[in-house]
Each structure stands twice: as structure tokens, then as C-alpha cells.
Amino acid sequence: MIVGIGVDLVDIPRFESTIMRTPRLRDRLFTEHERGLPLRSLAARYAAKEALIKALGGSDGVTWTEIEVARLGEREAPRFELTGATAQTVAALGITALHLSLSHDAGLAIAYVTAEGEAGPVAVDVVSAGVESPLDEADGDEADGSDVADGAGTSTAGETTP
């Protein structure tokens, strides 16, 4: 059963300029593996993480660096790898699978996340959840991001990869 959905749209040039102005955001928002990627790829991963938080109904118990958007290979679909308290939070919400789709075009990136699991507390009105962007404090505005590849993927909530 679908228990949550989230979508986020990112303006790639705006995201890139925000990261260039505030380099510490790279460490706050991305895992060690993600940090070395081109800014365009980071923008898409940012959109994916924002969409995930919306699908969860908010950011309580979620740490940005415990969410990694990974690919097993060039032709593989993107998927989430969750660790630590974030993986525990997602499991506690009864989420059994996360589906991720990323796309980009014309300087924009979009991420769409569907959370599957048992009906329960995650099925909330995301608008009233008051989700705020960590980029807001960097430049006073909401910024968004993009990915270098399109695709749809599935990840089991709470699954970690070595």
C-alpha cells in the first residue's frame, strides 16, 4: 500500500550557485560518496532527499547524511541507501519499500518518491508538515537540484550497503 509520496523540483544553476557560495552545505547534505560528484548530480540527489522527506511526512528522525542516492552501475536505476537513525525511523514508520524516479531537462531536475508499507502515521498532509529546506538558510530562498541520469529505482527501507 502506498503510504507516502513526495516530489521536489530543483533549478540546477541556482543550486550550483548556492553550493559555490556556501561550500559547507556539501558536508551537511551529502554522504562522503556523494560529495565528489559533479554539482549537477548533487542537485538531483538533493531533490531526491527532499522528495523522500516529503514522502515521510517530515524530517523528524532524518539526517541528510544518512540518506544516499546510489547507483550500482551506469545503466542502473537510482535507489536510496539509508543508514543509522534514518533507516530506523523509516522502518518504524512501517515503510517496507521506497521507489525513486529522477529526471532532468532544461536546467531543472525533478525527483519523485513513493513510500510503500502498512497504512499508518506516515499518511499525513505534507503541506501541514512544514518541511523546510536546509538551503533556505544559505541564501534566504528555497533552492532545488538535478541529476545526470534519468531512471526509476526501488530500495528496501532500512537496507544498508557495504
The larger pLDDT score, comparing residue 125 to residue 162, is at 125
13 lies in a domain? yes
Joined together, the cell numbers standing for residue 24 give 559547507
48 lies in a domain? yes
The larger pLDDT score, comparing residue 91 to residue 154, is at 91
162 lies in a domain? no
pLDDT (mean) for 13-27: 96
pLDDT band at 149 (very low <50, low <70, confident <90, very high): very low
55 lies in a domain? yes
Q: CATH number, domain at 80?
A: 3.90.470.20
Q: Is residue 136 part of an annotated ligand binding site? A: no
38-76: pLDDT as tens digits: 999 999 999 999 999 999 999 999 999 999 999 877 788
Task: Give the range of the structural domain holding residue 40, as residue numbers without chain letter.
Answer: 2-155
How many whole angstroms separate alpha carbon 150 and alpha carbon 162? 24
The larger pLDDT score, comparing residue 159 to residue 64, is at 64
29 lies in a domain? yes
114-146: pLDDT as tens digits: 999 986 554 444 444 455 666 665 554 444 433
Q: What is the mean pLDDT of the chain?
A: 82
Question: Is the confidence at residue 108, as pLDDT, over 90?
Answer: yes
112 lies in a domain? yes
Q: Are 45 and 37 in contact (CB under 8 A)?
A: yes
CA-CA-CA-CA dihedral for 148, 103, 98, 63, to nearest 10: 60
Q: Is 6 helix (H, G, I), strand (E, B) or coil?
A: strand
143 lies in a domain? yes
Tally of domains in the chain? 1
Comparing CA positions, the residue from 96, 90, 32 lying closest to residue 61 is 90
Q: Is residue 105 part of an annotated ligand binding site? A: no
Phi-psi region of 140 (alpha: psi -120 to 50; beta: other; left: phi over 0): left
161 lies in a domain? no
